[in-house]
Structures are given as structure tokens and as C-alpha cells.
Structure 1
């Protein structure tokens, strides 16, 4: 998403953030209702066109939202109206932005409840499980399977083990993947959770688990380098042999023995 759509997305979400923060437990309901609007847009090309038509007055589009979705939570309806009144470069950007608002509502609820750190930890563990089990990832990402089949697999694998916010977020990306791939979608959720806590995510791969002291030391080093708090998520991969690989956003620092050996091999071959 970029250009006009990005500006609209960011402006509406800035206004929605305090609404989501003040909603408390209602954040769950608001998220569910926003997701219902996304599903309606995804299944109706005519509705997408009507709500993103730049030639149609914003007041008309807001009236359409009230007509179609007026029975939903008023805070969700008002937010969708604001999205509809904005301008969009691509039709699909509207639904994507409303999806982001739903996720924001869930994170705000968890933040208010003091459980956001737990949610973030659980999302990271699920990501590692999926990346370590290709058969499970393939089955849970199978677009040929029905929504109920994918959600059934999620329940069989993790049911009863997750915080309700974590479960709601995963049920969304597994049950209604839209154009998203599962692991990258979970990584984006992790980034959103960290951002809500005022942190940036550093994905660390090491041959063995890092101690608490090592994590604190690495977080301190990265915080000084980036000028902000860093959330360390560590994945253990024995194949790296030694050292660590750190990724912050698009920046990667690879100090693993495996990478050094691979560099040496390439130099010899070249």
C-alpha cells in the first residue's frame, strides 16, 4: 500500500487508535464487526467499487455504510465511514485498512488488559512451530481446504493453549488468509504488537538458546544502535553452528559460522 491509500490508511488509524484504546473489552466486539465488513468487501466487487469510487461524494459512501452495516457497533461503523470517505489508489486497499483497524482493536484490548507481552510471546512461538514443521504449515495454509478445516487444524494443534487475543488473531489469518501468506502475516502481527509497546522487533537466530543476560546485553546493544527499545525474539537453529543472525526490519547482520563458511566457499569457487 502506498501513495494516496497509505495516507488514508494512516490518517484514519491515527483517529481510531484512541477509540480502540478507550473501548476496553468492547475492543473484541469492534474487531469482530470490522472483520465482518472486510469479509463483505472481499465477496462483493460492486460494494468495493461503490465504497472506493473517487467520483462518488464521501457523504454518499458514508450513507451506504450506515445502510448496510448500521446494526454493528457504532464505533466500528463510524470508523468504516471514515475509511469510505477517504480516497484510495486501489480498491483492495480499503479492505486491507479495515482489517488493520480490527487488529489494532484486538491489540489495544490486550494492551489495556496487561496481556500484550503474553500475546506477542505466543505469536512468536506459533511462528517458530510453523517454520519448524513444514507439513503443518502447508496444511494450515492450504487454500483448497475449507475455512472450517483450517480452523479445525488450528484448534487441534493449539486449542486451549493461547490467550483469547492470540487465538482471535490467528483464527483470522488462518481462517481468512485473504492475499496473505501465513508466516509473513504472523510476523506482521508481531511487529504491530511490538510497536504498540513502543518497541522494534529484532529476530535473532542462534545455534543455542540465549541466556537472560545475553538477551539483555543484545537488546542494550541494539537499542543504542537504533535509538529505541528493541524486542528480542530468539529462534534456535542448530544448523547455524555458532554465532547469531540478527534481523531488524530489512537490515540483517549475519555472524553465524555457517554464513562465514558459505562466504569462504563462494570465494574459493569464484
Structure 2
């Protein structure tokens, strides 16, 4: 699977449109919280990832699924409509990129730097504080940190701040070694 959290042009446009609607309707904080919850749900649920990625589901099926998830999670009406629209327009594959782009737009609007931290296992509070201090020292600002657990990286850490990625994952190091061995 490609990096589904990177916004495509379409994902960026959807995020920008939603962002403008949330500003106009004074719902930025609520919709951002919904989308952060959705990101965690997708990371935790293979079924939800399958709904997003599988071509076996029609756009209508995906829209129904997203509406059900939104209703069950108690999302804002605007968030639910956004999810349904993305699915009905055949852009479910762009959804997670749009979510990431929206969160970045929101953070920029609030003057905050966000950092996405991916680890193979959940971080302890002490580890999270250490990562936050390191990112803060590097950026000169205290970041808002969101964490994701991705066992496929095997170990280490990945930190994304805006378009910059620091990848010290074991998976990345193994891939580099494999590439170097192929060239030898």
C-alpha cells in the first residue's frame, strides 16, 4: 500500500473545501476532532481499511459504510456529509490523505506545528514526552503530536512534520540494506 496519508491533489482540494466550510460554520475544532478519531479508527480496523481500499465495494456501498461509521462515532453532520461525498465521488482512496491535509490546514490556521509519530508499539508517556522534547528542540516550537501504531515498521520511529519525514524505522533500514546488497 502506498503512503495513504499523503494528500493527492484531489485529497488536498477536498480538505481545503471542508476546511473553508468548517471556518464558515464555526466547526473547525469539532470536525478536526472527528477526523482525528477517524484516522485512529482506520489505523485500528482492517475492515475499515478494506472498505476504503477495495474496488469490490461500490461508491454507494462505501458512502453507506462511512455514514454508518459517522453515526456510530457521533461525528458532526458536516463530517458525515464530507465522508459520504468523498465516497460517492469515487475518492475513498484519497480520504486519508484529505484527513491529513485537513489537520495540517487546521494546525496552520491555529499557528501550531503538528508532528505525526509512527511506531511499531504504543509509546509510553515518558517516551512520548522525549519525542515531543526532541521535536520541539528541532523546530523551536512545541508541536501537537499525534501517534499511530504500525507494526509493519518492525521497530524504530517515523516522524513527519509537514512534508519532512524522519524515518528511523527498522523496516526502512532493512530496505536500504536489501537495496545495497542488490547493488553489490
Residue 187 of structure 1 deviates from its aligned partner by: 1.6
Structure 1 residue 150: Cα displacement: 3.0
Q: Which of 152, 157, 167 is equivalent to 2:69?
A: 157
SS at the partner of 2:72?
coil
Equivalent residue number for residue 103 of structure 1 = 19
Deviation at 1:100, TM superposition (A): 3.0
In structure 1, the partner of 2:179 is 266
1:243 aligns with 2:156: yes
Matches within 5 A, 1:98-247: 100=16, 102-107=18-23, 109-111=26-28, 115=30, 118-129=33-44, 133-139=48-54, 145-146=59-60, 149-164=61-76, 165-176=78-89, 181-247=94-160
Query: 1:205: how far off?
Result: 1.4
* Structure 2 segments unaligned to the other structure (5+ residues): 1-12
In the superposition, the TM-score normalised over structure 1's length comes to 0.51
Aligned residues: 169
Show CA shifts across 1:70-104 (max 9, x none): xxxxxxxxxxxxxxxxxxxxxxxxxx59x835523
Contact preservation (8 Å) 1:116, 1:193: no
- Separation of aligned partners in 2, 1:141 and 1:223: 44
Could you tell me how far 1:168 is from its partner in structure 2? 4.1
Partner Cα separation in structure 1 for residue 135 and residue 179 of structure 2: 29
Deviation of the 1:154 alpha carbon: 1.0
Aligned to 2:8: none
Distance change in 2, residues 1:200/1:225 (3 Å): same
Give 1:45-60 correspondences, 5 Å limit: none
Long gaps (5+) in structure 1: 1-95
Deviation track 1:217-240 (CA, whole Å, cap 9, x = no partner) reads: 212321221233322222212222
Q: Could you tell me how far apart the structure 2 residues matched to 1:132 and 1:235 are?
A: 17
Q: CA 1:268/1:139 → structure 2, altered by over 3 Å: closer, same or farther?
A: closer
Larger helix proportion, structure 1 or 2? 1
Q: Deviations over 1:4-51 (max 9, x none)?
A: xxxxxxxxxxxxxxxxxxxxxxxxxxxxxxxxxxxxxxxxxxxxxxxx
TM-score by length of 2: 0.71
8 Å contact from structure 1 (residues 191, 201) kept in 2 = yes
RCO higher in structure (CA 8 A, sep ≥6): 2
